[in-house]
Structure 1
Amino acid sequence: MPELPEVETVRRGLMAVFEGATLIKAEQNRADLRFPFPKDFVARLEGHKVHSLGRRSKYLLADIEADKVLIMHLGMSGSFRIETEQTKKMPGLFAHTRSKNEKHDHVAFHLAPPNAPNVKVIYNDPRRFGFMTLAKRSTLETHPLFEKLGIEPLGNALNGAFLSKRFANKKTPLKAALLDQRIVAGLGNIYVCEALWRSGLDPRRSANTISGRSGNGTKATERLAHDIRATLHDAIEAGGSSLRDHVRADGSLGYFQHTFAAYDREGEPCKRLGCDGTIQRIVQSNRSTFYCPSCQR
């Protein structure tokens, strides 16, 4: 499933065509994806202007006239394709290749951006685990999808003191605590593995062991908060570089694996300077965890 950096990269790739554009036409090619589309989905979109394109956790949020927000989730295999008369391109950087098979094109938005030619943005999803729905901006924070979400990991709210307080009584493994969307929204398996490797923290240790007694930030929680943000920023920057620099001959964006330090590197030497350990894979809560038992304590 695309994680926060991939979704943020998609958002940045779509901003130029969505923001300020008028949705002159929408096409809905099936009744449902993971969930049914809202009633009158197309009619409620057509003819309205898109004010902005944001993100909350792993959701894309298009603010539209008349207090509407178009909520979009990529699911397991969803992607967007931007088409003009001259080009076709796919914004985003994913660890696994996205589909271009047109039989999986389920939604299309015809947009008229200000001072630019009209474009067509197509949502393609072979496995149909993604979804789209509509909500009111004025009540978005209490929407069932968002009301229990924790803080955004890229903001200043994520710091050592915050993690210390939230981990204080948690005896669950550190990795499980970081994947709890009620604490930090948007963190996924790949980047939690990477952040824990950067911090030198064992994913198996209890979360409360790094929180200290006072509720203030500790060296471990401060380092972890920093490394979470740094890991995400580096991944987003890699996506941005791909958007600018890696374009295939057919006009589509180049996709390549992130250079991971721990994730998916089972049996390979640890990349930490001075460490002679080997990356191991274990299973936690039915998910693969990759870490170095020699330097992650």
Structure 2
Amino acid sequence: MPELPEVEVTRLGITPHVVGKSVAGVLVHSPKLRAMVPPELADLLTGQHIDSVQRRGKYLIFNCRTGSLLLHLGMTGHLRILPGDRSPGPHDHLDILLSSGVILRLNDVRRFGSIHWTTANPLQHKLLSGIGPEPLTEAFTGRYLFERTRGRRVAIQRFIMDASVVAGVGNIYAAESLFRCGLLPTTLAAELSEPECERLARCIKETLATSIATGSTMDFAREEEKLAYFPQQLYVYDRSGQPCRRCGNTVQRGRLGTRSTFFCPVCQRQPN
């Protein structure tokens, strides 16, 4: 699933191709996503000038002259820059034809993505207004995390995956951040001290920033037979039964509600 790093790398990769361009047309190949593609989208978007692309949590925001397009990549969504004559495939849902002659194409195999249009401040849209601070900004601090964890007897991994607490941290980067921090994912949020919250906030920032740096050279205009995001060297996520890259002990898998979690029982401990 695209999490904050994948969405940010996508933003960085497509921005040079779309910002400053006008929309020459919109082709909806399949409107069936998590929410149906607005039927009026082609009329609303055609002729618009794309001024900027920003990210809020896991949403991309295409700011145009008279409105903004909000796009969520869901679990399997990908955006690519392709030649204007490239025929769509079975999981291609949307083409935005640009004045430069290329198209911005949305591919989404599992169809959990969504597209929305707003003429108001996009950050006040109902899908974005409740999102917590961006983890890579100064608004996300250990002190903030400490205050939010008071009285919260919920597993820390589930807590930092709550978008109202911090933006964009999903299962992969929550598990990796907790490994970097040395905390078990089942640790209750309320049990963390302020220094531990400081360390966790720092580790979340480092984990996300490292992943973005890894993907920063990804070419979104390169045609690929199988769409994929950038490769990473994950320490615990999806590595159950394999040796820990740090200590050599076996990475274990657990459950937190409906989600799997991965951890090293040696490198990760309950707080003191």
State the one-letter code of the partner of 2:58. K
Of 220, 225, 230, the residue aligned with 2:206 is 230
State the one-letter code of the partner of 1:125. D
State the one-letter code of the partner of 1:79. H
Q: What is residue 93 of structure 1 aligned with on the other side? A: none
Q: CA deviation at 1:52?
A: 0.3
Alpha carbons of 1:80 and 1:172: their partners in 2 closer, same or farther (altered >3 Å)? same
Structure 1 gap ranges (5+): 89-99, 213-217
Q: CA deviation at 1:276?
A: 4.9
Are 1:54 and 2:45 an aligned pair? no
Quote the Cα distance in structure 1 between the aligned partners of 2:22 and 2:45.
9
Alpha carbons of 1:62 and 1:146: their partners in 2 closer, same or farther (altered >3 Å)? same
CA contact (8 A) 2:95 2:105 kept: yes
Alpha carbons of 1:137 and 1:151: their partners in 2 closer, same or farther (altered >3 Å)? same
TM-score, with length taken from structure 2? 0.91
SS of the equivalent of 1:220 reads: helix
Q: What is residue 92 of structure 1 aligned with on the other side? A: none
Are 1:296 and 2:268 an aligned pair? yes
Q: CA deviation at 1:26?
A: 0.9
Quote the Cα distance in structure 2 between the aligned partners of 1:7 and 1:269.
29
Alpha carbons of 1:40 and 1:101: their partners in 2 closer, same or farther (altered >3 Å)? closer
Q: What is residue 105 of structure 2 aligned with on the other side? A: 122
Are 1:268 and 2:251 an aligned pair? no
Of 104, 116, 122, the residue aligned with 1:133 is 116
Q: What is residue 82 of structure 1 aligned with on the other side? A: 81
Deviations along 1:82-139, one digit per CA (max 9) or x if unpaired, are 11369x8xxxxxxxxxxx9712222111112xxxx4211111222221111101243x
Are 1:111 and 2:98 an aligned pair? yes
Select between 15-24 and 26-35 the one with higher mean Cα deviation.
26-35
CA contact (8 A) 2:13 2:218 kept: no
TM-score, with length taken from structure 1? 0.84
Quote the Cα distance in structure 1 between the aligned partners of 2:226 and 2:239.
28
SS of the equivalent of 1:42 reads: helix
RMSD between superposed Cα atoms in Å: 2.4
SS of the equivalent of 1:103 reads: coil
SS of the equivalent of 2:24 reads: strand
Deviations along 1:229-277, one digit per CA (max 9) or x if unpaired, are 1100111111113339x968x69987553100111111222222xx353
- List structure 1 segments (4+ residues) > 6 angstroms apart after TM superposition: 250-254
State the one-letter code of the partner of 1:187. V
Quote the Cα distance in structure 2 between the aligned partners of 1:137 and 1:243.
32
CA contact (8 A) 1:193 1:289 kept: yes
Q: What is residue 221 of structure 1 aligned with on the other side? A: 197
Q: What is residue 73 of structure 1 aligned with on the other side? A: 72
Q: What is residue 239 of structure 1 aligned with on the other side? A: 215
Q: What is residue 36 of structure 1 aligned with on the other side? A: 36
Quote the Cα distance in structure 1 between the aligned partners of 2:191 and 2:147.
12
Identity across matched positions, percent = 37
SS of the equivalent of 1:133 reads: strand
Q: What is residue 186 of structure 1 aligned with on the other side? A: 168
Q: What is residue 97 of structure 1 aligned with on the other side? A: none
Structure 2 gap ranges (5+): none
Quote the Cα distance in structure 2 between the aligned partners of 1:226 and 1:282.
25
CA contact (8 A) 1:76 1:129 kept: yes
